[in-house]
């Protein structure tokens, strides 16, 4: 089981490395969306630092949403997905490996780029650290929930808008806990509970989402 996990992850990382531009597109989207906000709401540093964590989180949600719908697409197109469904190895483990690879390729770069955006939005070093830490814990949950949406909408017409409608309501608690941490810190409250809840969400998603996603893939390829 660990063997299949590692080999699927290695394969996905290798495939992504050979088409590096896909990964950069998502990152570019993240940077571009966050850079548009000051143009829209005005460049006052006070206001920007106030909305910074919310903007970063919403941009991360949208970036995940845009890229996650391609998670199973190429596997379905070349027949790999059918082989995965027929495999004796548990499908949920294969899905989990794919999600892990996906997160390393899109979620982790967002976390790494986040301090740059925090700089643009005039956050203090402490606030930057908290914002990045919430993204680090929260973005795997985004990827896991996104994988359920991606497998449900696999091969459907209007997939992009549909996956948004399915997954965005489920993202609401993460957005609240994630973006709220910086506000709580600024208000002088503890941020421990925010991190505990983000961690709890991650653990629940880790247990449920691979199974749900595997079930959805079986339904889609029935």
Partner 1 sequence: MSDSQLSATRAPSAGVSLFHYASPQTFFPLAGKLLWPSWIAAVALTLAGLYTGFFIAPTDATQGDSYRIIFIHVPAAWMSMVVYLAMAFWCAVGLVFNTRLSFMMSSALAPTGALWAFVALWTGALWGKPTWGTYWAWDARMTSELILFFLYCGYMALQAAIDDPRRADRAGALIAIVGAVNVPIIYFSVKWWNTLHQGASVSLTQSPSMASTMLTGMLLMALAAWAYTIAVALMRVRAIMIERERQTDWVRQLATGETKA
The residue ranges that bind partner 1 (CB under 8 A) are: 148, 152-153, 156-158, 162, 165-166, 168-170, 172-173, 176-177, 180, 197, 201, 208, 212, 215-216, 219-220, 222
User: Please, what is the minimum distance in Å from the beta carbon of residue 201 to partner 1?
Assistant: 7
Considering beta carbons, is residue 107 or 149 the nearer one to partner 1?
149
Tokens 């948004």 correspond to: 164
Nearer to partner 1, 111 or 212 (CB): 212
Closer CB to partner 1, 56 or 163, in the complex: 163
Judged by CB, which is closer to partner 1: 46, or 222? 222
Compute CA distances 67 → 8, 59, 60, 98, 146, whole Å.
19, 12, 11, 13, 9
Classify residue 222 as exposed, middle or buried by CB count within 10 Å of its CB (0-12, 13-18, 19+): exposed
Contacts of 157 (CB under 8 A, 6+ apart): none
CA distances from 115 to 101, 120, 135 (A): 23, 9, 11
Smallest gap, in angstroms, from Cβ of residue 176 to partner 1? 5
CB of 214 to partner 1, least distance (A): 11
Smallest gap from Cβ 50 to partner 1, in A, equals 16
Q: What is the number of other CB atoms lying within 10 angstroms of the CB of residue 170?
A: 15
């Amino acid at each position: 089981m660990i063997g299949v996990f590692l080999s699927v992850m290695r394969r996905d990382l290798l495939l992504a490395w050979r088409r590096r531009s896909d990964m950069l597109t998502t990152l570019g989207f993240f940077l571009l969306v966050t850079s548009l906000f000051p143009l829209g709401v005005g460049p006052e540093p006070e206001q920007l630092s106030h909305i910074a964590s919310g903007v970063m989180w919403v941009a991360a949600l949208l970036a995940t949403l845009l890229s996650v719908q391609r998670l199973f697409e190429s596997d379905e197109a070349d027949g790999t997905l059918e082989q995965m469904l027929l495999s004796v190895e548990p499908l949920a483990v294969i899905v989990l490996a794919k999600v892990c690879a996906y997160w390393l390729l899109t979620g982790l770069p967002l976390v790494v780029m986040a301090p740059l955006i925090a700089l643009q939005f005039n956050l203090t070093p402490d606030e930057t650290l908290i914002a990045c830490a919430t993204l680090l814990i929260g973005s795997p949950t985004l990827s896991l929930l996104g994988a359920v949406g991606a497998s449900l909408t696999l091969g459907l017409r209007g997939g992009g808008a549909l996956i948004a409608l399915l997954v965005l309501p489920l993202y609401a608690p993460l957005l609240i806990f994630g973006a709220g941490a910086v506000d709580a810190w600024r208000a002088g409250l503890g941020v421990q509970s925010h991190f505990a809840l983000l961690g709890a969400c991650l653990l629940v998603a880790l247990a449920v989402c691979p199974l749900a996603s595997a079930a959805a893939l079986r339904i889609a390829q029935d």
